[in-house]
Amino acid sequence: MTANDQLTPGARRILDVASELFYRRGIHAVGVDTIAAESGVTKRTLYNRFGSKDALVVSYLETRDRRWRDMISTLLDAVRDDPVRRVLVPFEVMPEWLGGSERGCSFINAFAELPEPEHEGRKIIVAEKKWLHTLFHELLTEAGAPDPGTLATQLLSLHEGAIVATAIADAPDAAAAVHAAAKTLVTAVLGGAGPSSATGPT
């Protein structure tokens, strides 16, 4: 359980508004005055609930990180007996994750705005990307891939590239394209492992 699970309804409203503003306009472009006004509270109330704008930024990123990991974990649990599809789960959930995300990856955007290595928000971003890389490595290892490290890096690069291409390069089919490419890579390495490796979704 995180601190965000214990928010009051008012604090949740502040966080929801701040999250929308941070994503749509950028972290540095949004001040606490704007967040308070659009949340219908005073600045004092905002500070009483969160302490600082930095704490709000951290809560925003924690919430996004947890939602992303939960999406992946839920589908992983549903495909326990299909090692190929398990490796491809991050690609399978990508279209849902990107829905309504026309500014691309919130983590990548925030990373550019938080240059200080010790900023707690930046630490969340780095941990999220490393987690996905590690997850690919673990799933490939479980599936018996002979060189899981190299393939994990290839899959991470495809995954992150699709997010950027969708948002910036006007490539709405990027998620489906990299899913297919990732499936080709994985099945070439793992062969026919799993009950539905040849027919799973692309």
The domain that holds 174 is classified in CATH as 1.10.357.10
pLDDT value for 100: 75
Question: Are residues 92 and 165 located together in one domain of the fold?
Answer: yes
Nearest to 197 by CA among 158, 95, 69, 189: 189
- Please report whether residue 146 resides in a domain: yes
Question: Are residues 42 and 74 located together in one domain of the fold?
Answer: no
Question: Are residues 96 and 18 located together in one domain of the fold?
Answer: no
Q: How far, CA to CA in Å, does 97 sit from each of 28, 45, 70, 106, 141?
A: 24, 32, 11, 11, 26
pLDDT value for 7: 83
Whichever domain contains 33, its CATH number is 1.10.10.60
pLDDT value for 5: 60
Question: Are residues 94 and 181 located together in one domain of the fold?
Answer: yes
Provide the CB-side half-sphere exposure for 91 (13 A, CA): 32
Query: pLDDT of 78-134, one tens digit each?
Result: 999 999 999 999 999 999 998 877 888 999 999 999 999 999 999 999 999 999 999
- Please report whether residue 202 resides in a domain: no
Question: Are residues 16 and 101 located together in one domain of the fold?
Answer: no
Tell me how many domains the chain contains. Answer: 2
- Please report whether residue 200 resides in a domain: no
Instruction: Give mean pLDDT in consecutive 10-residue pieces for the chain, a chain of 202 residues.
Output: 68 96 96 97 95 96 96 96 96 91 90 96 97 98 96 97 91 94 95 47 38
Question: Are residues 123 and 45 located together in one domain of the fold?
Answer: no
- Please report whether residue 93 resides in a domain: yes
Q: Which domain holds residue 79?
A: 60-190
Question: Are residues 47 and 69 located together in one domain of the fold?
Answer: no
pLDDT value for 38: 96
- Please report whether residue 201 resides in a domain: no
Written as six digits, the tokens of 195 are 């009950």
Reported pTM: 0.88
- Please report whether residue 66 resides in a domain: yes
pLDDT value for 6: 75
pLDDT value for 116: 95
Question: Are residues 44 and 64 located together in one domain of the fold?
Answer: no
Nearest to 72 by CA among 58, 50, 88: 88
